[in-house]
Amino acid sequence: MLCDESWIPDPPDKHVIQCNYSVSTSAVSKWSRAYVVMLNPGGGNDRIVVLVRSRGSRFIEKWESSKRLANFRVTTMPHQHPMYHNDRIYAYQDVYEVAGMLQELELRLGHTAS
């Protein structure tokens, strides 16, 4: 007898923080979408760790100046998303608080994605 697995619930969606590059770099195109991996443990958040697709189509993890990033936002990542099981993308407990803090930083730096 075949096992009916239809009763198994879907994994919960992740709430992650995305942003865009406001400038191009040698590794990343302008407006590339990046996922926030880790904030600066010192609390300054002038540099944060992001996971971004490089010009060579690989996902790279790099420390980036927040002056190069814009349009911080909370994004829901369903379990069907290809990056859902990537352990480098951190699902923050209070993602809205972190995103708000990064948006305030963006305003202080005086740039937005447009």
At 65, give phi and psi (nearest 5°).
-65, 135
For residue 45, the 8-state DSSP code is -
CB contact at 8 A, 52 and 32: yes
Q: Where are the domains of the chain?
A: 14-109
Q: Decide: pTM greater than 0.85.
A: no
Encode pLDDT of 4-62 as tens digits.
566 777 778 888 888 999 999 999 999 999 998 887 766 666 788 999 999 988 889 99
> How far is CA 48 from each of CA 5, 34, 41, 80, rounded to the nearest angstrom?
41, 11, 9, 27
Q: Is the pLDDT of residue 107 over 80?
A: no
Encode pLDDT of 68-95 as tens digits.
999 888 888 888 888 888 877 776 667 7
- Number of residues that make up the chain: 114
